[in-house]
Amino acid sequence: MTPTAEHRPTYATTDLDNLAYNFHSVREFLGPQNKVLAVVKANAYGHGAVGCSRRLESEGVDWLGVALPEEGIELREAGIRVPILVLGSFWPGQVDAILDHALTPVILTFEQASALNNAARRRDLTADCHLKIDTGMGRIGVRYDAVAELASKLSMLTNIRIDGVMTHFAAADDLEQRSFTKLQMQRFDQSVEILRSNGFAPTFVDLANSPAAIAYPESRRGMARIGGILYGLGGDVLPAGIPAPTLKPVLSLRSAIAHLKNVPKGETLGYGRTFMTVRDSVIATVPIGYADGYPRAVSNKGKVIIKGGFAPVVGRVSMDWTIVDVTDIPAGIGDEVTLIGREGSLSIAAEDIAQWAGTISYEITCGVSQRVERRT
């Protein structure tokens, strides 16, 4: 452990070599006929969007995907040159920023298509965009049964080009819902057919997210939009027991013991007094809390690695501090605490924390907050 002089010793590390490993592993698994759009929204699922995007670009990624124009602008300002798809489209005031930064927006409504068309016409250019079809997620995009009507209206907009058509699966991670996933594919195919018969000729036709790309080869169609598995987060989004690329975890989260105390049997610890010592105990306090993204939901459930042993989280995780029981570990002040990551033969994955907290690993990595020092 090398705490920096200026910071408390709580930090997150993004292993860019493992990110690159996962990228090549996934790309090889999908085959050369499929392009990879790496999804780096939400600060690359908490792994640092600029660092991850630079590395993926140098490894040969075809596209990057962000949720918001703001996220795409950050990448362009950092010098990223590969095509960037803005999955969540844009708000009315953002259409010029989209064109200024050469971002490719996803279009969800005719009004957006029209706004983009007007802005492109003012600049005397044709703007590329991708059209999102809602085939069963029920969230954003044009409903599959409204595509025909939209297609004829879109044909009148001469300053945009629908260069991609996409949809998003609701339950590709759950093979028991296979028939619904197949229904989404059917609805999508019909929608693309309608667009083609109206004269549209999209270069990209993409459906697959991480679970679909791995579990449903027929969903790949030349490009897959891959997020979670690039960050090694396959554990709770890939169906068990299917062929899958090998993945390595990318994020680790570490801190150090700040305080140690002997607490006699029968005393309570933390807010709400939810834990009582059942023996004379040695209790360590770690400077990380739910304000850092270590979830309060792991109170009395989680564990951390210290000196080659697991130490259970005791009592409530609070905003700035977490208490762990080190009675069985020869721990000292300043000893390294691994909250996510590997230490010797022991490891804790983001998926483990997610399970203790009753959520998915994506929420855990996305949740590592601004307050946590970042290292690569």
Ligand X SMILES: *Cc1c(COP(=O)(O)O)cnc(C)c1O
The residues assigned a catalytic role are 41, 271
Task: Check residue 329 and report its DSSP letter.
Answer: S
- Short-list 360, 352, 371, CA closest to 289: 371
Tokens of 15: 């292993």
How many whole angstroms separate alpha carbon 146 and alpha carbon 133? 9
How many whole angstroms separate alpha carbon 346 and alpha carbon 308? 7
How many whole angstroms separate alpha carbon 14 and alpha carbon 49? 11
Q: How far is CA 20 from CA 14, 58, 163, 249, 368, in A?
A: 11, 9, 28, 11, 21
User: Per-residue DSSP letters for 341-368?
Assistant: EEETTEEE-HHHHHHHHTS-HHHHHHH-
Task: For residue 347, count other CB atoms closer than 10 A to its CB.
Answer: 14
How many whole angstroms separate alpha carbon 57 and alpha carbon 67? 18
User: 110-122 vs 147-154: helix axis angle to the nearest 10?
Assistant: 10
How many whole angstroms separate alpha carbon 279 and alpha carbon 171? 46
Residues whose CB is less than 8 angstroms from the CB of residue 374 and which lie 6 or more positions away in sequence, other chains included: 11, 12, 13, 14, 48
Tokens of 1: 């452990």
Residue nearest to ligand X (CB): 227
Task: Check residue 150 and report its DSSP letter.
Answer: H
Phi, psi of 228 (to 5 degrees): -45, -45
Phi, psi of 97 (to 5 degrees): -65, -35
Binding residues (CB under 6 A) for ligand X: these are 39, 41, 87, 168, 209-210, 225-228, 237
Residues whose CB is less than 8 angstroms from the CB of residue 236 and which lie 6 or more positions away in sequence, other chains included: 173, 351, 354, 355, 360, 361
Residues whose CB is less than 8 angstroms from the CB of residue 33 and which lie 6 or more positions away in sequence, other chains included: 220, 222
Residues whose CB is less than 8 angstroms from the CB of residue 174 and which lie 6 or more positions away in sequence, other chains included: 239
